[in-house]
Structure 1
C-alpha cells in the first residue's frame, strides 16, 4: 500500500502519516509506504491518487484544504474533491497557533493588528503553500481584521517555519505541533491559538475569539481518502483499521505529544462533515477571493 502525503518529511501531515502507516501494516498485514508529494496546493498528491487503481492500495492524507477549500482557491484545479476523492476516515483535529518572529516587537493580536494597519503592505506572513490551511485561514482572518499583509508561500511547513524563525518572514499561522518547540525555546512568540489546545506551551495564549475575533474557528482536520471508485467494502475495511490505529495507546501518545486530538468517524459521517464544510466555507472563501500568489 502507498500512503500519499502532501507535505515533506517533518511536515504536520507527515508526522501523523508515519505512525498511521506503521499501525496499518500491523492490522492489515501489508507493507505501507509513505510517499511524500508536496507542492501545488496538494494537486501533485491528489493527481497521483486520482490516477491510482481504486483497489484500496493507494490512499492519501488530506486536510480541509484538499477536500473543501481548493476549488475556491485554484482556478484550474487538476482534480475534483467531490468526484475524485472518496472519504475513508478522519484521524485528527490539529489546533493552530498564530506566531510571530520576536524581533517584530508585538506581544498580542491587537498589537499585530495595530502594526499592520500602521504599516499597510509592509508586513508579510509565511504559509506552507498556496491553498494550504495556513494560507486560507490567515487570509480569512486578515480579511476579518481588514489588514494588508503580504503572503509568502513555501513548499512545506518546515520551510515556512525556518523562514519565520530566521526573520525572513514575520508571521506564521501554523499547527501547534509544528511550532511548539520554537515557541518553547523563545524563537517564536505565540499571540493566539485555536480553542482546542492542550499544551502547557500555549497555556497563556488567548484564543482568537478572546483576542477580539468572535466566531473565528481555525482548527484543521486531517483525514484519509481513497480514489473515488473504491468499493464501500474496501473503504469500511480501511475505516476499521484506522479506528484500531487511533485506539493504539502508542499512536495516541504521539498525537498528544504533537498537540492533536484523535478523531474517528464512519466513512459516511466523514463524507457528511466534508459536505457541510463545503456549504459553510465555500461561499466565505469565494467572497474573499483567495488566489494563489
Structure 2
C-alpha cells in the first residue's frame, strides 16, 4: 500500500491542469496566468488550460477554486485585490485567502505610479506634495473605483505624507485616466499599462513609483524614497494558489516547475511590457507575504472608509 501511494503521488500530474482567473481575458492578471500556464506545461508535460471566470472583483473565480477538489488539477491565479484587499473590503466575504487556499508562489509585482496632469506646475513628487499642502482644498485625485487598488494606494500615500485631497471614483482606469488627461482631476495612482502610454504622448507626467526600486519600463522615474518622501510602498501583485488541502508534494511539484522555467527572457519581456516585474518565491514565503499584505491593505481600507456588503 505504501508503494502504491508513492507511485500515485509521483505520477502527478496525470491529466490536464485548469487555472482559473477571476478577471476577463486581456487584463494583466489573465496575461500573467497564461504565461504561468505555458511555463507549467513546459515543466510538467501536461496541458494547462486557463479558464476566465470574471465578476465581483475576482470573487466568483476564487470561489470556484476554493470549492474544487484539492488534488492539484484546479489552481487559481489571483491578485493582490482578491487575496489581500477583499478580506477587509467585503464585510461578508465567502472565503479566507489563508484558510481556504494554499499559496504556491508569487509570480509578478505590478508597480503603481503617481501621475499628474501635464499642466500641473510640478516636476517631481516632492514638489507635488508641497503644492498640495500649500492649498489642501484645491486638489483632487481619481481612481478606478472605490475600494480598488488605485484608490487604496492613494489613501496610504495621503496618510503617510499628510495630504488632503478629494477622491473621485470612476468605473475603471480608462475613464479616470481620460479625466486626468483632460485636467478634471489633478492626480492619480495606477499601474504602468494605464499611465505609461499617456505619459509617452505628453498628456500626463509620471512623478514616482510606489515601490522599493525603479521599474525597467520607466527607468527615469524615481521611487518615493529617492524623491525624499520616505518608504511609502504600495504594489499590486499576482500569484498562484491551490485549494486548501492540496498535498504538499503537489504544491512543491508546481513550485519546482515554475522555479525551473519562470524567470526567463521571454517572461521578462512580456512582464516588462506590462510595466511589471518577474517574481518567484516559495509557498512559505508567499504565505507570509500575503499575511503582511492583508494587514497593510486593511489599514488602507479603514483610512478610505470603503466597504462592500
TM bucket normalised to smaller: 0.7 to 0.9
Does 1:251 find its partner at 2:261? no
Question: CA, structure 1 residues 116+76, in 2 after alignment: closer, same or farther (shift >3 Å)?
Answer: farther
User: Which protein is bigger by CA-based radius of gyration?
Assistant: 2
- Among 71, 92, 114, the alignment partner of 1:76 is 92
Rounded Cα–Cα distance in structure 2 between residues aligned with 1:99 and 1:8: 26
Match of 1:141 in 2: 157
Q: Which residue of 2 aligns with 1:154?
A: 171
Encode CA deviations 1:243-262: one digit per residue, 9 max, x unaligned. 23313431232223433332
Q: What TM-score does the superposition give when structure 2 sets the normalisation length?
A: 0.79
Describe how 1:1-293 pairs up with structure 2 within 5 A: 1-28=17-44, 29-35=46-52, 37-38=54-55, 40-104=56-120, 106-113=122-129, 116=132, 118=135, 120=137, 123-127=140-144, 129-144=145-160, 145-155=162-172, 157=173, 160-161=176-177, 164-165=180-181, 170-193=186-209, 194-199=211-216, 201-203=218-220, 205-279=221-295, 281=296, 284-285=299-300, 288=303, 290-292=305-307
8 Å Cα contact 2:103-2:241 kept in structure 1: yes
Question: What is the SS of the residue equivalent to 1:82?
Answer: coil
Aligned CA distance change for structure 1 residues 243 and 289 (closer, same or farther; 3 Å): same
Q: Displacement of 1:30 after TM fit?
A: 1.2
User: How far did residue 238 of structure 1 move?
Assistant: 1.6
Native 8 Å contact 1:3 1:60 kept in 2: yes
Q: What's the RMSD between the two structures over aligned residues? A: 3.0
Aligned length: 288
> Residue 234 and residue 200 in structure 1: after superposition, are their counterparts in 2 closer, same or farther (change >3 A)?
closer
Residues 286, 260 of structure 1: alpha-carbon distance in 2 compared, 3 angstrom cutoff:
closer
2:77 is paired with a residue whose SS is strand
Tell me how far apart the structure 1 counterparts of residues 75 and 182 of structure 2 sit (CA, whole Å): 35
Gaps of at least 5 residues in structure 1 are none
Task: Tell me whether 109-118 or 141-150 shows the greater mean CA deviation.
Answer: 109-118
Distance (whole Å) between structure 1 residues aligned to residue 93 and residue 290 of structure 2: 18
Q: Classify the secondary structure of the residue corresponding to 2:61.
A: helix
Q: Is the 8 A contact 1:67 1:274 kept in 2?
A: yes
Question: Which secondary structure does the structure 2 equivalent of 1:27 belong to?
Answer: helix
Q: Distance in 1 between matches of 2:143 and 2:290?
A: 26
